[in-house]
Structure 1
């Protein structure tokens, strides 16, 4: 049920990896190498994807390449939000792809591309169409972010929060569906491209939207889905039951699964953006998830994580 395993999310974004603790990304590079090796050992055919970078920065890719990390991934991924957060215009998408291709021989995937409806829902609908026109046929995999708006009672995964001003609140308006499940105009704009431009939808622990999301994606004809399994969540009670339920519900899609988020008690500092105290523990988590959901052998026991 998994076509690709993604190692972390936006490692060059302070909201997902703390550069104060790893200013040259040496720790991240080592973690990537160990995780890439662990994934390959479990399933030699599974595509390994470098956590999508945001901003799109060729120098960051060169830095990881110099540290040997790119030898242990098969794909480099990028994220772009030119109408909301990036300092470039939407028509520059092809140029941004070429900037990364210029510094690596790896395939480039766009694992998050999005436009919020914060300013106007009509702008988002136009952004869906224009993004599809610019990216379909240019990269092997595209994931629109996202299917649902983030509920206002939840918290966006960012270190900046209200210090970002209006930029923070754009996090809550990225969906094709409103938080209550009603469609926006962008849903109709997306529908003709659903088979070629997949969805990125993060599911929170025991997310009440899971079954409804599956129904919507099947109705739209979505084939490719990107989501995540949280290392931090793996220490919650009943974590495996939730992971099993989530992955079973998503079995009809080609899933790119993202492994990320440091448990507070296993980080150098107690925060999900922290490098782990022991990089091998994250690699073990990746291996365990691949063994459970993308194994090339019969299902095995699950000894690597202490749940609870």
Structure 2
């Protein structure tokens, strides 16, 4: 069920990892090393990926190298949104990849790249075409963010919300499908870019869009999908039922699962961006998910079909 496991999401972005608690990322490095080793112990065939960094920062990657983290993973990842949030231009994409390549010999994944339709849907269409021209052949994995617009009734995962001005509202226009499920002009162009491009789609707990999303991904010719399993959600009632349904729905794709989000009661601070009180608990969650959805081939663990039949 899982081809690759990504350990955390955008650890150098304060919307996803609190730098006041962990200013030198030493706690993050220790947690990531524990998680990578736990994943490898559960299934050595799983590709272990360092959480995609945003911004693209060779200094941060160098710090992870110095901490020894890169010795425990199989690939590193970057995220880039030059038409929406980054302080560089879209044509600089190859240079950004080269900056990371200068730090590590590991394969580089672009595990999130996207363009919002906040200003105009035509901008998103042009941005998709130009991104494909710039990135094809430059990275081991390319994944477009995202399939759906974020519903306006939900909250974007970011620190300051409306105080960020238009930067916040751009989060709600990243899909190639509108909130109501109707296609934007970029959808047809995206279909031309598959299977070179995969998709990123985060599914909220018991997300009602799951079945339609899977149907769209099949129609679009998508092969690789990146999504998430939330450590915080693991403590909700019926969490495993939802996880089973989500993973069973995605079984026809090459799935990268991102493990992230600290449960409030298990963090140094009561927030999903906090470093955990006990990093071994996060590693145990990663191991549990791999054992459940990607067990060793010789494992006696139940299959996902068996789990769904219970």
TM-score by length of 1: 0.97
Kept in 2, the 8 Å contact 1:76–1:107? The answer is yes
Map of 2:266 onto structure 1: 266
Secondary structure of the structure 1 residue equivalent to 2:270: coil
Map of 1:289 onto structure 2: 289
Aligned counterparts of 2:84 and 2:72: Cα–Cα separation in 1: 32
Structure 1 residues without counterparts, runs of 5 or longer: 302-308
Kept in 2, the 8 Å contact 1:49–1:76? The answer is yes
Map of 1:299 onto structure 2: 301
Aligned counterparts of 2:10 and 2:123: Cα–Cα separation in 1: 25
Aligned counterparts of 1:259 and 1:151: Cα–Cα separation in 2: 23
Map of 2:38 onto structure 1: 38
How far is the alpha carbon of 1:2 from its aligned partner? 1.0
Shift >6 Å, 4+ stretches = none
Residue 113 of structure 2 is aligned to residue 113 of structure 1: yes
How many corresponding residue pairs? Answer: 301
How far is the alpha carbon of 1:298 from its aligned partner? 2.4
Aligned counterparts of 2:266 and 2:92: Cα–Cα separation in 1: 40
Kept in 2, the 8 Å contact 1:126–1:189? The answer is no
Q: Residue deviations 1:180-226, cap 9 Å, x none?
A: 10000010111101211000000000000000000000001000000
Q: CA RMSD in A?
A: 0.9
Map of 1:239 onto structure 2: 239
Alignment of 1:202-213 (within 5 A): 202-213=202-213
Secondary structure of the structure 2 residue equivalent to 1:2: coil
Kept in 2, the 8 Å contact 1:42–1:287? The answer is yes
Aligned counterparts of 1:300 and 1:44: Cα–Cα separation in 2: 18
Alignment of 1:187-206 (within 5 A): 187-206=187-206
Alignment of 1:41-190 (within 5 A): 41-190=41-190
Which segment drifts farther, 149-158 or 124-133?
A: 124-133
Secondary structure of the structure 2 residue equivalent to 1:251: coil
Map of 1:23 onto structure 2: 23
How far is the alpha carbon of 1:69 from its aligned partner? 1.0
Aligned counterparts of 2:199 and 2:94: Cα–Cα separation in 1: 20
Secondary structure of the structure 2 residue equivalent to 1:98: helix
Secondary structure of the structure 1 residue equivalent to 2:96: helix
How far is the alpha carbon of 1:300 from its aligned partner? 5.8
Aligned counterparts of 1:300 and 1:127: Cα–Cα separation in 2: 44
Kept in 2, the 8 Å contact 1:78–1:108? The answer is yes
Map of 1:13 onto structure 2: 13
Kept in 2, the 8 Å contact 1:150–1:173? The answer is yes
TM-score by length of 2: 0.96
Secondary structure of the structure 1 residue equivalent to 2:3: strand
Kept in 2, the 8 Å contact 1:291–1:300? The answer is no
Aligned counterparts of 1:119 and 1:298: Cα–Cα separation in 2: 52
